[in-house]
Amino acid sequence: MLTRVFAVIILAFLAAAVAADHHETSSMEEFKEFGNLLEGRWIIDVKLIADWPGHKAKKGERITGYGTYRWIVDGKAIEANHTGGTNALRMLYYWDGPSKKIKGYEITSGGRSLELIIWKKSKGVFVSKAIGGGAEDGRRLTGSAEHRFSDDGKTMTFVGSDFKMGDEVLDDFQDAYKKVSK
């Protein structure tokens, strides 16, 4: 009897793990949708949630950023370049067929790096989850945020509420993106 109960508990945990991971998968079509929504030039209003290396501004201050997203390698990846304040950032997004995940990598001039997985949550909403990377000093960055597209793709709100840098809980954020051209 105890063995049967133990087996049921293990199967329940395995089923929960499979179900939890399933929502983080994507199709190539969802990646194309995400990339097409990102493609273009953006003006970005950011409130800093930490004292990021590379910024002369401090936590809580607002900066204006500029971002460009473009398709590269015959439409198989999106490259993004951002500048804001004294910081520069470069990102690469692509669809990884074997894992069925949209993956992203980011590096900043302040030494922060980030590895992401992205999936479609609903129409016009994509989730980014940090799965690796962090500050140059070794503190890991964890958390997830939503890319919320509206106004026919001309507006994106990037919203997060569960980020941590090492043991430090970071402020919630809501960065505003306005597309200025496709």
Tell me: pLDDT of 4 over 70.
no
Q: Is residue 81 part of a domain?
A: yes
Give the pLDDT mean for 29-45. Answer: 98
Q: Is residue 175 part of a domain?
A: yes
Q: Is residue 127 part of a domain?
A: yes
Q: Is residue 146 part of a domain?
A: yes
pLDDT tens profile 45-72: 999 898 876 677 788 899 999 999 999 9
Tell me: pLDDT of 19 over 80.
no
For the chain, where are the E strands, in sequence order?
A: 40-47, 62-72, 77-84, 87-96, 101-108, 113-122, 125-134, 141-150, 155-160, 164-165, 168-169, 173-181
Q: How many residues does the chain have?
A: 182
* CATH number assigned to the domain comprising residue 102: 2.40.128.20
Q: Is residue 19 part of a domain?
A: no
The residue that leads in pLDDT, 3 or 136, is 136
Give the pLDDT mean for 101-118. Answer: 95
Residue-level pLDDT at 160: 94
Instruction: Return the structure tokens found at 171.
Output: 């402020």
Residue-level pLDDT at 1: 53
DSSP 151: G
What total number of domains does the chain contain?
1
Give ∠ CA 35-131-62 in degrees, rounded to 5. Answer: 70
C-alpha distances out from residue 131 to 104, 123, 128, Å = 10, 24, 9
CA 147, chain centre distance (Å): 8
- pTM recorded for the entire structure: 0.85
Q: Is residue 14 part of a domain?
A: no
Tell me: pLDDT of 170 over 50.
yes
DSSP 158: E
Print the domain residue range for 115. Answer: 26-181
Q: Is residue 4 part of a domain?
A: no
In percent, the amount of the chain with pLDDT more than 70 equals 87
Q: Is residue 13 part of a domain?
A: no
